Amino acid sequence: MESFKRFTALAAYLDRPNVDTDLIIPKQFLKRISRDGYGQFLFNDLRFLPSGEENLEFSLNFPRFKGAGVLVSGRNFGCGSSREHAAWALMDYGFKTVIAESFGDIFSHNSSKVGLLLVERPLAEVKDLMGRIEANTGYTLTVDLEGQEILGSDGYSCHFNVDPKVKAMFLKGADDIDYTLSHFLPQVALFEKEHKAPWQAVLPEKK
């Protein structure tokens, strides 16, 4: 996982509540054997018409939002089934942060494992941010994880809360194994010193 400390990017919005994981990445695309390549299918049923042409009324297809790295959306984002592909698709598309009123629990868990930062803000603030993005073409947001602050290119700023474990992992670019070892490596080493491995206990020693 890449380290996440401070990130500035074009902001886009999806003004819609209860965006579930099937809408984020439809089930028919869950056939790849790696985490890469899902971005092209992100919000497929919203981005494209049945004919296969782009839906020009969908916000992420607006030319002004091409290349966005921060997504602002409504409450209960990422609800629904427990597919980690939803977080993969958002990151593969280019998003590193999603700001919403609330998130689905399993989606939040999956996002923390791959480096997608989720920021919860009250609905009034989310709507205010959407309005700023709409009113200012090229609107950017800076997400400062170390300072736990979001800064807008028009002077907007707010503080946000984040789970201390998630913050530590993101800042270091560490996964669960790295995090566990950083806290318990001495205990693991002591256990290994005091206990024989199972195969050592059953195999005869070489003469």
Average pLDDT over residues 148-153: 98
pLDDT at res. 200: 60
Query: How confident is the model over 111-136, as a mean pLDDT?
Result: 96
Residue bearing the bigger pLDDT, 195 or 18: 18
Convert the pLDDT of each residue in 70-80 to its tens digit: 999 999 999 99
DSSP one-letter string for the chain: ----SEEEEEEEEE--S--BHHHHS-GGGTT-SSSTT-GGGTTHHHHB-TTSSB-TTSGGGSGGGTT--EEEE-TTBTBSS--THHHHHHHHHT--EEEES-B-HHHHHHHHHHT-EEEE--HHHHHHHHHHHHHSTT-EEEEETTTTEEEETTS-EEE----HHHHHHHHHT--HHHHHHHHHHHHHHHHHHHS--HHHHHSPPP-
What was the pLDDT predicted at 206?
Answer: 59
Q: Which domains does the chain have, with CATH numbers?
A: 6-173 (3.20.19.10)
Q: pLDDT at residue 199 above 60?
A: no
